[in-house]
Structure 1
Amino acid sequence: MSLRSRRLPLPRHAGRAAVVLLAASLALAGPAGAVSGGNGDEALRNRLRELVDRPDGPPGAIAVLRDGGRVRVVEAGVADIGTGRPPHANDHMRLASASKAFSGAVALRLVDRGLLGLDDTIARRLPELPRAWGSVTLRQLLQHTSGLPDYSRAPEFADLIRADPHRVFDSRHLLDFVADEDLEFAPGSRYQYSNSDNIAVALMAEAVTGQRYEDLLASKVYRPLGLTRTSLPVGYRLPDPYLHGYDVEPGSPPEDVSTLFGASGSWASGGIVSTPTDFNTFVAAYAGGKLISDATRRQQRSFVTGASEPAGPGANRAGLGIFSYATRCGVVYGHTGNTAGYTQLGVGTPDGRRSLTVTVTSQVNQTSNPDLLAHLRAVEEDFVCALLRSPSKT
């Protein structure tokens, strides 16, 4: 899930990182075909260094740009302060709310098969949820126009995380934290980002298939795209090697918060672990509509005004499980995310031919550090321009 930082008093050994939970989510060789170097890459690397060199900046940053079969990896800083090794495209990391694109992919593939309809309601597919939520549709859940209260903002949820950041939640009952609350607005009447939406999406997918969401991810997304280093764990550990995520406060040493929180409290809203290479492969297919039919893709690309969390580059608009980012150089589709230690951007061109992921190893959002977010969005836009302006390769 995307974690919109809200600092809760945690013991020092548990880390200073914000329990952002959802207020908002192998070798050291490069990926096949990866290239680097050249004046263009050096200019981009300098842009990442500007972020890393800030007193409040992330210890590390890595971007992967793909144009057809040509892959460029640009990095700055370190993946691990303890060893000083640089970030690598096959390092594991937390995707945070970029995981919502994966639940979107699962749901839309089920729409293609006729197992789900975009106008299916909670009352029809999830009758065990509160009757007051019954008229909410899958379309509204995917577009964050549902009005569902955000479970990650519930005081009881925050208290449990504060008491035990490694707590293992029953992910399928996360909505219980807000089950006594009414909708926050009439479904479809406005946009409001909510981590509850994608929990309900995953539950709908399970209800119509009789399969666990984790298995649906494997069959509908991982295997078709060859994502061998992507998973949805329950616990707090990360596979080796991984990009270490840090809580950064100027004047204090960065604190490693990579394993501060478990993934069960974010689940379909933000729990996926992946690598820059796998994430880039996914977003190219997802942005380009490779996983779904043209008819479903046209529905997915019905946009309303609304920003991802955190906001991505340019002007943001919300589709069904995907965002449009209109930059000065053109439009790309994808998703962002932020959680303790990580901030993500993954975008691709509408035809899926070109794709970009940008990862920084600290949490950056409007609440925690608006100036750093503005800087990051400017850097992301420069990378989008480099992606769109590069000569097309076959």
Structure 2
Amino acid sequence: MVFTETLLLLAADGEPPGLLPARQQMAFSLGWHIVLACFGVAFPTIIFVVHRRGIVRDDSVALGLAQRWAKVSAVLFAIGAVSGTVLSFEMGLLWPGLMGRFGDVLGLPFAFEGLSFFVEAIFLGIYLYGWGRMPPRRHLLTLIPMGIAGIVGTFCVVSVNAWMNHPAGFRIENGEVVDINPWRAMFNSGVWLQFAHMWVAAFMVVGLAVSGVYAFGMLRGRVDSHHRLGFTVPFAFASVAAIVQPLLGHVLGMRIHDTQPAKLAAFELAQTTEGPAPLRLGGVLIDGEVHWALTIPRLGSIIARNSLDAPVPGLDGVPRSEWPPVNITHLAFQSMVGIGTLLAAVAVVFWLARWRGHDLLANRWFLRLSVITGPLAVLAVESGWVATEVGRQPWTVWKVLTTADAASQSSGL
């Protein structure tokens, strides 16, 4: 059923010829770029902490790590610059119905994102060149504008996506977009929560990806101060993020209950509105019936509304033409939540072990688990974006512009 839904999503009858290639190209480009964007957000902060440790404690190991990570950051930044440039062209070429109609609404965050990109590039260059040429503390401070620029750029991009979920800053009058307020569009009602969710996710991805490299090294016998510090600092960031992230996701889920009930119904595989609502683990929707799901009574109401009895909206309250691809959305959402729960459990074990004085880095099973947490974190982020984007279908701008109308009408793509 998931495969069938995918085919229907990509090639429905009567849709413009540009929709299929637009979806394919945008999914590939965004799926790749989001991982690189995570490094732009989180890596400068992690490098700052290690570099500061090196200066304050006169720790050559920490300084060596900071210098090595800076080179890695530069390579990833260069690749991200290319993939981001591709995306900027794709927005206009593949989605002229969106950018042609709402370009004035969305122009401000895109402009700030471009400015942030240049600021980050400039200070990354200064930081790389400054090794051995600048006073140590001034050199360290060049990481601050890098980190701020990465955060601001991410906020601007997330604000555009949040606007698609919570459109604001304009009115439609006689089919025309009027009374445009780009500031209100940028600071829409959903931006802060969605940005927080993405910002924390970035630290999970980067922290676990970097620490996994050093965990693999320790499994190969390289148990030295370089590998131990290279593991501990990024993993500490990631583990805190992994504990915070489920709480943010819960709050975001409650907001989706109020603003996008069809998406929540697809998340929960809820055919009918019911209260108290169960939580369904696994399962697929086939011919109007849910199969192979493990049902936990009342937990759906608790997650959606913090109540044992609150009703959770079902797909029966949504016109059939406005249903998202239910099985894809459900699978992506549960993949994100399941992986997130596992990563949070690993984080709790890590902090409990440190509190009790246990050295988990001497435990090979923990190191093996740490190696796979990086790819799992990437999969969780990708699944989350699939859930939120596919769950919004058939709309590009919620209740304003359909994805079919946003796509190019050209058959040459």
Shared fold (TM-score, shorter chain, > 0.5): no
TM-score interval, smaller chain: under 0.3
Higher RCO structure, 1 or 2 (CA under 8 Å, sep 6+): 1
In our comparison, the structure showing a higher alpha carbon Rg is 2
TM-score, normalising length from structure 1?
0.26
> Quick check: which one's strand share is greater?
1
- Structure with higher helix content: 2
TM-score (norm. length: structure 2): 0.25
